[in-house]
Structure 1
Amino acid sequence: MESAESILCKVASEAVPCLRVFQISTDDELSYPMHHTKLVQPLFSSSTPSLHTMTMSGIGPMKCGALPANLTHLELKVNLVDDGFSPKDFAIFLNSAAPTLRYIVLEGIVIAFDLSEKPSAKIELPALVSLNIRYPIWGDAISYIEDLWSCIRTSALQDLTLCNLNDAELHDTMRAIQDQREQGRFAEIKSLCLEDTYMNHYTSPDYVPEEFYTADSMVDDLMMAFPKVCILMLSGDAVVSVLNLMLETDRKNVCSDTGTLWPNLQCLIVVHPQETLLRDVVLSRKAVGHPISELKIQKSRGFSDKTTDWLRRRVPKFSTSNYISRAGVVSYFLRRLFKHCLISVLRSMTGCYLNRVTTCSCPCIDWQYGGHMEDFNSN
């Protein structure tokens, strides 16, 4: 069997004009020799005009030179603590593709920040629509999330996933979003996914507030950082904490719309919700005049049919699933975003009578649908 390194060297020396998707993944044992050898630079020595998606896991991506230009979808997974980029190397790695990248997944300690080397300038990602930050459970880099946001600018960002963050790191993220908004144009987060985001400080019965660790502060920060959220996905530790925050703010603001958390929320996606809490949230959102129009849940084994029927009667679009994937949520959001943009364009076209519009090779959705034709019908 050929090693990953030998395969990469072959790819680097071959012309690959028709390559659209490149994915390579190795486990820690197989990838170990690659952390001590220098791969061919750059990864693709010839032009890759068709390449739009690249996934690299466990191979020490800093060894592969700069990314090809025109890339739209990038996933990086770093398995070893010592295998992250330096801030300078990360900027070089992204340089060619930065103007076109629309979807990025960063899993692990992708950038090895050092007190002696802080980012000198932000990496501009003007086309980035979706960002997925997956902090590892083994991570112990205290300021990693804060440092990560300090080296990127994402003015077009609308879909954000945060995985395995604690409350302080969530605050760092919200502060970074606020800073970007204050510095100029910011698209606003429309789709927010919180996976195992630890906020138990706010629901603990023996909780003692200190510094920014207060429930009111968390609600205020969530409303300021993410005021336009219309799709919310919760899983793990985030489920109870966030639903409780929503419920409490709804109960405090039955007669006022100013303090409602996420008044634009239309679609709620929850993995293993508590039945009573979920029912209470559905009722409270309706009471404040912002009913949930779409609810998707991944049921736990003990979730009752009675509650399922109750939810089905009260939510216009209700569905259950044995498994809800993050990729499916992103696909759902981008479909809605694309449809919204297309409707806006059609409405601006006066004097035209169109029954059907067919899109092909849209750069916003190519990476997701593989270049297939996507039809949109409008009356």
Structure 2
Amino acid sequence: MIVGRVTLTEPHTVDETGEAAMTLSGREAWPIITRGEVLARHEAVLGQRGALVAVLFGQKDERNGYYTVTSSSSNLTDFAGYSGWADWSLSLVRHGPDNVIDLESRLTGAVRANDFSLSGERWHAPAIGAYGYYTGSTTASTMVRTGEDGPITVYRQVPAGVSPRWGCAVGDYLRGRVRLRTGYPPRELTGLTAAVDVDQWELSNGLVRARRSYTAGSMEVGSYTGGWKPKVWNIDIGSGPITSWESVTILRNDPEAATLRLTESRAPGRVAVDLTVRRGSRTVEVYVQRGDSGTISVYLASAETMTDSTSYVVRPTDDADGNRAIAGSARNFDPHAAGGLTKTSTTVLDCWLGVVAGGGSAVSGDQAAHLRDQYIGALPETTAAVRR
């Protein structure tokens, strides 16, 4: 049985009421599976509370559908590591099967404030396999980006004030999702409270990923263009690149978007770096904060020449992978000599990092100005289940 992102042992009994409430209870035990797997499932169950989830049963597939988890608990028993179990329980509200339920993407707020008088581009990417995408009387245009999970459709020029609705088979709901992983081998995390290894973390949507850099640099940003093509970026507050992190905290962890916060101490104070990836996006969004006013720079660890286009900088020629490194910000900045951005006398720097996939042959929607407009126009998103 799969509940959201976690696989659980399917219980024989499902308790339901006429008010669409359902209770599931079960046990995960080692050495039937490993202790690490039991602990991961224990943590994942606790992280489900409040989430909209697709549930797929192994035996009782007539109960497949979309649910909201109203409460979750798990009791962990450990006999000195030799054996043990987690007794878990989930309370859910059933919305219905996937052929009567739409997913409504509630796009709220305004486009990002900026210093360049840009209106941005409202865009949205539902799950891979979504169908019947509905935006009312005005139809959005489409493009397709192919990533590690396969082709995902991105809807462009989504009309203002509209919350798109779309259908999706429960088995497809998590395809193309944003994932947070930690450890080796990498383990996907659910919820906000799981521990993240400061030396082994990854934030990815299958098109772009940010992860701990294993060479000199602050982090690696990889772009999927027929395979992962990494570039190492430095984050520098005036005393040289930050090359290690003291903590990694999960701020958001949903299929449509996720955010990690990296922190590192200074003498005195600290630096905080928020990384956000959205489903269907080609870029990683970065927000750097320092306590006192000073210089903040984000630039390539291996220098590349970039052209200044005022609101972004971009490599003017294709690299060996056929792409062009790009970085931009919603606020005024100075180009960095190594390829990137720098800002003086500031406590914050917002920026976005990635590549122009396809370089000089990039398709519409993946070209440099389009990536900038999509950063400016990206809207906060939450997903709800509604009846058709």
Q: Same fold (TM over 0.5)?
A: no
User: Normalised by the size of structure 2, how large is the TM-score?
Assistant: 0.28
* More RCO (CA 8 Å, sep 6+): 2
More strand by share: 2
User: Normalised by the size of structure 1, how large is the TM-score?
Assistant: 0.28
More helix by share: 1
